[in-house]
Structure 1
């Protein structure tokens, strides 16, 4: 009859277990009964815990996963909105950029210009067929004979030599200048013989390349390096100049004296002209203007000529304008848009990966997922893992004192103070702490797993930078 009574006592109620726990310091038998009751109770809690995580209700899993995906997808919606805004901004910037590029080409590089043609001009016009569709030349001062426009499939040969001379007797006023223009091709040569009426008076004689070179000389006539040829002349003499670039050249005489100066110039030009005998197009400005269509994609060229000095005609003025090929600009802006969007998309993905704002699909996990994966169940460790339900954080001093637990078996009853055990696995002592927060709640193995998986302290949620192990002697 004593055995049933003993069995009943061993299966006491939770309240009796509580009383036994309270009296554990005063009675050794009560302590043994309390420890046995606590182990069984924690075994039940452990089994219920695994049942809740391993055998969940399917509907609960679906709801939790659904909630998790909705939260994550909202971040994708915000990211997509930012990407769409950035895409539109990129398109607007690109359109603005291409607009200014187009205007620079149409109005700058291939804008209309007014040309002054000297005697025996032979000017090559070779626009880019990708951007230019036609050439139009208008005569501003109508004269007979006038300039002529020729069309060629290929660049004609520059091998027609001609020589002519002009004599200019000019009275140059004080602080003024006189100028004459000649369009000369590469390989031409110019010889100028001069005679100044007053032997004691000096004037400037220059050969300037283009209107820009002449303007620079007029700003600083005494500076010799802004022109092709700069000379301070007096008396009589001769100047020769070889032409290395096809361009318009100004011969000018400047007088910086306080009185007028008489100057006589004899200009002899040995010029090279383009051969126009094989031209497929010729226009003599009978209708004031001439137009030439530019072939695509190979292209063609035009040559503009003027009559020689024997015709005794003043310099002629023409306006040259280029018709843009609009298809190029439309296709160009489309191509640039696609390339810029591809580059922008690549850079945006790279930036998102750098900042961590885009999460890959496999990185999604339920909101209630455990902090760490569960350890393999080891029945031999239950006696030491669940000696108590308490998982309070111990002080660092207690942790140092708990270093003596390392290498000892708790199943033998040497210690049941779980304040010194790892709060994650309940298998090993707390032998490390997190930096910079300093919390000590886990063994070194579990702490390392936490640092690698979550990188946040389970107590204060601060970022973990390092895990320091505590060694005791």
Structure 2
């Protein structure tokens, strides 16, 4: 039967039984008997070998690997838990320290046939199955136990007792694990949620960084003042793209208080408008040229040409003049 437990069941049920095995061993032959024993079990063996002058090798080995290794070199005890040469009558005892399958075997290494009788008394410790939450018998086919995640659970497989089976019966159990689709769905869903949250927080962080950068640049821009103050456009520009520069440069004559020819004082604003239309050199012609590369517009084309030919520097900024361009009005 198959039992299911939430925790390890106690190993406190004692079961004792006896077996008798009588066999004749031909030369270079052996015979073995298999038992699965839990930790704490005990094996008592009494034997009788005839003729008494003959001897056999008696071993107890753990698992199929141990049996195969012993059969390769039966005269060497390295792979056996217990290895003895037996003859006549005697008794052997062994305590089991690990739950596993064990082979009790005898081998005839000599050329003559030998008879042997083994009386086995096995004191086995079994698991207490009274607290099992799941029980299934294989008479109805396969048994299925659902695994508990993440704590896990315990499964105990039992076989019929020695009184209910033949000593030569062998049981084969196939253990397989089936997928639990809900686990795959939950895992994939959880991974998807984590990825979406990561993308969401990443985008929010990027947007916050962009906003902080934009605010920083905006504050810097609001604190900056233009290098050239803006003034209302008037007729004095004469269509020049450089007049905005020349308007920022105050002429020496614009700072003086003047009077008209009739002796009446004139307002400073009106005087500034008049002087900005006239050449600052000759005060006769309009300001119809500008200097390159500085762009100042303070003279008529004739005076500007003379300045370029004579001094070669702008009278306002003292930069070297390369060309004088005439401004044509429409």
TM-score of the superposition, structure 1-length normalised?
Answer: 0.37
Deviation for aligned residue 1:320: 2.6
Q: Does 1:294 align with 2:147?
A: yes
Distance in 2 (alpha carbons) for counterparts of 1:174 and 1:243: 31
Give the structure 1 partner of residue 73 of structure 2.
220
Residue of structure 1 equivalent to 2:52: 199
Structure 1 or 2: larger helix share? 1
Which residue matches 1:235?
88
Matched, 1:322 2:179: no
Cα deviations by residue, 1:189-230 (Å, 9 ceiling, x for unpaired): 111101101111111110001111111100000111211000
Residue 242 of structure 1 and its aligned partner are, at CA, apart by: 0.6
1:178 matched to which residue of 2?
31
1:246 aligns with 2:107: no
Unpaired segments ≥5 residues, structure 2: 192-330
Given the alignment, which residue of 10, 17, 41 partners 1:157?
Answer: 10
Aligned-pair CA distance for 1:324: 5.5
2: CA distance between counterparts of 1:311 and 1:153? 29
CA distance in 2, matches of 1:254, 1:299: 44
Question: Deviations along 1:33-86, whole A, 9 cap, x unmatched?
Answer: xxxxxxxxxxxxxxxxxxxxxxxxxxxxxxxxxxxxxxxxxxxxxxxxxxxxxx
Q: CA deviation at 1:319?
A: 2.2
SS in 2 for 1:216: helix
Pairwise CA distance, 1:312 = 3.9
Equivalent residue, structure 1, for 2:164: 311
Residue 265 (str. 1) matches residue 112 (str. 2): no
**What's 1:343 paired with?**
none
Gaps of 5+ in 1: 1-147, 336-473
Whole-angstrom distance in 1 between the partners of 2:142 and 2:71: 34
Q: Which has the higher contact order (CA 8 A, sep 6+)?
A: 1
Alpha-carbon distance in structure 1 between the residues aligned to 2:141 and 2:91: 41
| Cα distance in structure 2, aligned partners of 1:282 and 1:177 | 39
Bigger Rg over Cα = 2
Q: Does 1:281 align with 2:129?
A: no
Displacement after TM superposition at 1:259 (Å):
2.3
Deviation at 1:322, TM superposition (A): 2.6
Aligned partners of 1:265, 1:218: CA distance in 2, in Å? 20
Secondary structure of the structure 1 residue equivalent to 2:128: coil
Q: Secondary structure at the match of 1:321?
A: coil
Please identify runs of 4+ aligned residues in structure 1 that moved more than 4 A: 324-328
* Cα-to-partner distance string for 1:235-264 (whole Å, 9 max, x where unaligned): 110110010000000000111111221100
Give me the whole-angstrom Cα distance separating, in 2, the residues matched to 1:153 and 1:297: 12
Residue 325 of structure 2 corresponds to: none
TM score, norm. by length of structure 2: 0.53
RMSD: 2.1
CA distance in 2: counterparts of 1:242 and 1:217, whole angstroms:
20
What secondary structure sits across from 2:65 in the alignment?
A: helix
Whole-angstrom CA distance in 2 between matches of 1:228 and 1:186: 14
Deviation at 1:288, TM superposition (A): 3.1
Structural mapping, 1:84-123, within 5 Å: none
Number of aligned residue pairs = 185
Task: Report the Cα distance in structure 1 between the residues aligned to 2:76 and 2:65, rounded to whole angstroms.
Answer: 15
What is the aligned partner in structure 1 of residue 108 from structure 2?
Answer: 255
Deviation at 1:325, TM superposition (A): 5.0
Helix, strand or coil for the counterpart of 1:224?
A: coil
1:405-416 alignment to 2 at 5 Å? none
Q: Distance in 1 between matches of 2:128 and 2:162?
A: 19
- 1:277, 1:320 → 2: CA distance? 25
Alignment map for 1:2-21 (pairs within 5 Å): none
CA 278–215 in structure 1, closer or farther in 2 if over 3 Å, else same: same
